[in-house]
Each structure stands twice: as structure tokens, then as C-alpha cells.
Amino acid sequence: MEQSNRILATYLIETAYPLEYAAEVMAGEQSTGTFVAVPGETPELKEKHGAKVVSVQELETVSAPSLPGSRGPKGATSLTYKQAIVTLSFPFENVGASLANLMSTVAGNLYELGEFSGLKLIDLQLPEAFSEKYPGPKFGIKGTRELCGVFDRPLIGTIIKPSIGLHTEDYGPLVRELAEAGIDFIKDDELCGNPSFAPLEKRVKVVMEAIERAADKTGKKTMYAFNITGDIEELRRNHDLVKNAGGTCVMVAVNSIGLNATAYISKYSELPIHGHRTQWGSIGRSPVLGMSFNAFQKLCRLAGVDHLHTNGLNNKFSEDNDTVIQAIKDTLAPFMGGYDVMPVLSSAQWAATAYPTYEAVHSTDVIQVAGGGILAHPDGIEAGVLSMRQGWEGAVAGIPLETYAERHPELAQAIRKFQKN
């Protein structure tokens, strides 16, 4: 089958029906099929526009359904549920170069079908025609590094804390202290969009004044990702507000505004787009429902984000380290001939987290964001920033953590403060 002009979607499924039958149900539901033949549903039409089953790979059998609401074949007295990897092929002509219609096709009603007790989109392969409509990240790793002036190590960043509640006047001193400490990157919390006590317009003014004054002193301009998340008519205005103030990054909560709104602001953006994956747990946490991060990150790259949150090792959330490592690797893997995006590692990060991270992914093309790991360092913020850099220096050099800490007091203090017994 010629695949160059077709969309390939791969799923994990669970069903009490024969696997080949279940795969055909999926293909029919998301293309030409309905529950009964209708006038106009000719063999020629189905051949041209119907989805095709490319492959079915049987996995394990389970005794009970993973999700409620599924059904089995009529008359069956005892049900077992088989899991499998299924790949479907959809004609590009059914969808066109449209993120919205792509999602209606590869996800759509599939999750509701009664034949399935589990269904999760785990991968996508797209025709090159999508790149003509969606050119992808404008800055990516290279552009972000150039704006930050950091080329031979990860970007070290932090998040403004408390997450919400700080008034505008509280931002300036904290941002300036961080910037003068040499931090590369700071971001708004995803909860702080345009609240009355710290409205975006005033926040941008205060923060950029602090960054510029620090740059006058240090020669380094810290990148700050302002959260411009809002209704679609606000996005471009918010972006322009940041750009005109001399800012070098904007942040959007991708799942809050949607892929199409993300692509909309990417079309106009003259700044890197920091993609936050808030609500990700509702999409990816179940092993048998929703979407894998691999599929999600491809959609985000297509929509044009330059940075994308992947979670970090030893985090406070539900994902284990193997899952996080795979997310980082997926984000760094080639896609669409050059849609490179910088993974953002966050959640319970501190200096020593660099060691298992580098050992696992063998890359420094990441932004490591630490809140408490920097702000709560016993010797202050500057020491916190230094400790993070030292952690990566030791990890990349292959020097054991405790050995490297012997000659780097900031790292040693971080170990005493943050290492769990």
C-alpha cells in the first residue's frame, strides 16, 4: 500500500471481539462506515476514502475489562479481553492539512466504541503535506540557545513561586535577584495568566525592567516565558505585549487553548513558544485510554511549540522514571525533517537530578527547571543556580556526584539539603 500520502495512526486496543474484526470496526467508524449500509456507500467510494487496517499485533490476554461500558459478542457466555497494537491508514484526502480534522479522524469517536475496553493512540506518521500548512517550531533548540547565549550545557531555569497570589510589585525584586544570579530561564506558573492582582501588562513591564537592569550589570539577558494563555482573540495581543517590551519568550498551556490556537499564535509569533502540558494527566495517565506522550509531542511540534514539558526524573507526579526518560527521548527524536523542540524537565528537580538524567538520555539539549532546588538552597539563589550547573558538569564529565561535590561547595550544600536518606 502506498503510504506517502496517507496518515498512519497506531493504537493500543483491548477488546473481547476477534482482533481483526475490532480493527475493521475502528477503520470503518473513522472513515466511511456506519452500522448499516446506506445509499451512496459504493465499493468505489469505500476503496478511495475508507481507512485500511495495516497491521494487528496481538499482545496479552486479560480476564477483566480495563474500562467500563464495553460489551462482548452477542451470545458469548464467558469473555476474555485481548490487547493488541493496531495500525490504521487513512487517506490524506479525507482530512487535508488540518490539525482539527486530523484529531477528529485519528481520535474522534473511537474512545466511545462499545467493542473496546481499552483504546489509546500511541503514534502518528503524517504526510509531508502537513508541513506546508504547519511549518513547526520557529526557534527550537538552536534558536533558544542563541537567544539565551548558552551553547554547551542545559539551560537552567526556575518557576516563579508561589504559583499564584504574588502581586505585581513582588515580581521585580525576585526576578532581578534570579537574573543577577546568572539563571538562564524563568517562567510564569501556568496558573498565573492575567489575574487582577498581577495583570499580564503590568507584570511584563515590571519583569522586563528587572531583567534589563540585571543585564546591564551582568551582560546576560535572562529568558522569561510569560504566560499569555487566554481566549483566542487575546493571544496575538498578549504576544505583541511581550515582544514590544523586549521579552524573548511566551508560554501557552497547549491543552487549555487547543492545538489549533497554538498553531495560530505560532504563525504570528516572533518569539519562542514555551509549551506547557497542563491537563496532561487526563489525556495520558491511563495505560489503556487517551493518547501516549509520543503522539502528543508530535502534535505539539506540528502546532509550533519550541519547548515542551516532559516531566523530570524523580518527580512528584504519577509518572515513573522510565516513562519520563522515554518522553524526553521522544521529544528529542527527529520529526518531519527538522521540527526540533527543547524538552523541559521540571517537578522536584535539584542539582543531583542531572546525573540520572544525563545517564539516561545522553543529551544536554534540555531546559531543567527547578523551583525549590534553586530558591531553597541553603546558601541562597546564586548558590542554587551554581549547584544546578555543577550537577550537570559532573554528570557530563563522568565524575561521581560525591567526588565532584568535594571541590564544589554549592553542590555539596545542595546534597546536604535535598538528598533523601
245, 224: one domain? yes
Contacts of 155 (CB under 8 A, 6+ apart): 144, 145, 148, 184, 185, 223, 342, 366, 367, 368
Q: Domain check: are 407 and 300 in the same one?
A: yes
How do residues 84-125 score in pLDDT, each as one tens digit? 999 999 999 999 999 999 999 999 999 999 999 999 999 999
Same domain, 209 and 281: yes
Minimum mean pLDDT among 44-53, 169-178, 226-235: which range?
Answer: 44-53
- Identify whether residues 181 and 98 lie together within a single domain: no
In a shared domain, residues 155 and 285: yes
**Mean pLDDT, residues 66-86 taken together:** 93
With pLDDT > 70 as the criterion, what percentage of the chain qualifies? 95
State how far the alpha carbon of 406 is from the alpha carbons of 378, 390, 402, in Å: 17, 11, 6
Do the Cβ atoms of 116 and 290 come closer than 8 Å? no
Same domain, yes or no: 121 and 150: no
Reduced to 3 states, what is the DSSP secondary structure of residue 179?
Answer: helix
For the segment 368-398, what is each residue's pLDDT rounded down to a tens digit?
999 999 999 999 999 999 999 999 999 999 9
C-alpha grid cell, residue 298: 508530535
pLDDT of residue 420: 82
Burial string for 261-289 (b: 16+ CB within 10 Å, else e) reads bbbbbbeebebbbbbbbbebeebbeeebb
- State how far the Cα of 343 lies from the Cα of 291, in Å rounded to an integer: 18
Residue with cell 501588562: 201
Q: Cis ω on the peptide bond leading into residue 199 (within 30° of 0)?
A: no
Q: What is the pLDDT of residue 1?
A: 41
Task: Decide: 306 and 143 in contact? Cβ < 8 Å.
Answer: yes
267 and 411 part of one domain = yes
Mean pLDDT for the chain overall:
94
The pLDDT of residue 40 is: 65
Nearest to 51 by CA among 12, 120, 108, 13: 108
Torsions phi, psi of 323, nearest 5? -65, -45
Q: Distance from first CA to last CA of the chain, Å, rounded?
A: 57
380 by Cβ neighbours in 10 Å (0-12 / 13-18 / 19+) ranks as middle
Shared domain check, 294 and 375:
yes
Residue 359 DSSP label: H
Per-residue pLDDT at 50: 84
What pLDDT, on a 0 to 100 scale, did the predictor assign at position 38?
A: 60
> What CATH number is given to the structural domain containing 105?
3.30.70.150
The 10s digit of each residue's pLDDT in 4-56 is: 789 999 999 999 999 999 999 999 887 766 545 666 666 676 667 789 999 99
Q: Which residue has the cell 513547526?
A: 136
pLDDT of residue 45: 62
Residues 241 and 305 in one domain: yes
| Residue 36, in any domain of the structure | yes
Whole-Å CA distances, 402 to 229, 375, 386, 415: 42, 22, 16, 9
Alpha carbon distance 269, 274 (integer Å):
11
The answer to whether 366 touches 342, Cβ cutoff 8 Å, is yes
Q: Is residue 231 part of a domain?
A: yes
What residues does 118 pair with on adjacent strands? 14
Averaged pLDDT for residues 210-228: 98
CATH number of residue 380's parent domain: 3.20.20.110
Average pLDDT over residues 55-82: 94
Task: Decide if 373 is inside a domain.
Answer: yes
Nearest to 341 by CA among 363, 358, 362: 363
Q: How much is the pLDDT for 370?
A: 97
Domain stops at, among 103, 133, 163: 133
Give the C-alpha separation, 239 to 250, whole Å.
Answer: 7
176 and 72 in one domain? no
Q: What is the pLDDT of residue 421?
A: 46
Cell numbers representing residue 376 in the block: 531553597
Cell numbers 560525591 correspond to 402
Single out the residue in 133, 160, 194 at which a domain terminates.
133
Range of lowest pLDDT (135-149, 158-172, 270-284): 158-172
Domain assignment of residue 1, yes or no: no
Residue 4, pLDDT score = 72
Identify the helix (H) or strand (E) that includes residue 345.
Answer: strand 342-345
**Strand stretches in 92-229, DSSP E:** 116-125, 155-159, 185-187, 223-227
Closest CA to 10 of 91, 125, 150: 125
Nearest Cα residue to 351 out of 373, 383, 369, 333: 373
What's the pLDDT band for 165 if we cut at 50, 70, 90? confident
State the total domains in the chain: 2
Question: Residue 243 pLDDT > 50, yes or no?
Answer: yes
What mean pLDDT do residues 299-326 have? 97
Q: What is the pLDDT of residue 34?
A: 54
Domain termination site, one of 84, 112, 133: 133
Does residue 306 sit within a domain?
A: yes
State the pLDDT at residue 90: 95
Q: Tell me, what's the pLDDT at 118?
A: 98
Question: Nearest Cα to 172, choosing from 140, 142, 143, 202?
Answer: 202
Range of the domain at 107: 6-133
Residues 199 and 99 in one domain: no
State the DSSP string of 308-321: EE---TT-SSS--H
CB atoms within 10 A of CB 320: 11
**Average pLDDT value for residue range 336-355:** 97
Of the candidates 174, 354, 160, 408, the one whose C-alpha atom is nearest the C-alpha of residue 416 is 408
Q: Report pLDDT for 35.
A: 47
Confidence check: pLDDT of 288 > 50: yes
Count of alpha carbons within 13 angstroms of residue 327, beta-carbon side: 27
Assigned domain for 161 exists: yes
Residue 93 domain-assigned?
yes
Percent of the chain predicted with pLDDT > 90: 90
Q: Are residues 29 and 169 in the same domain?
A: no
Q: Please, are residues 412 and 403 in contact by the beta-carbon 8 Å criterion?
A: no
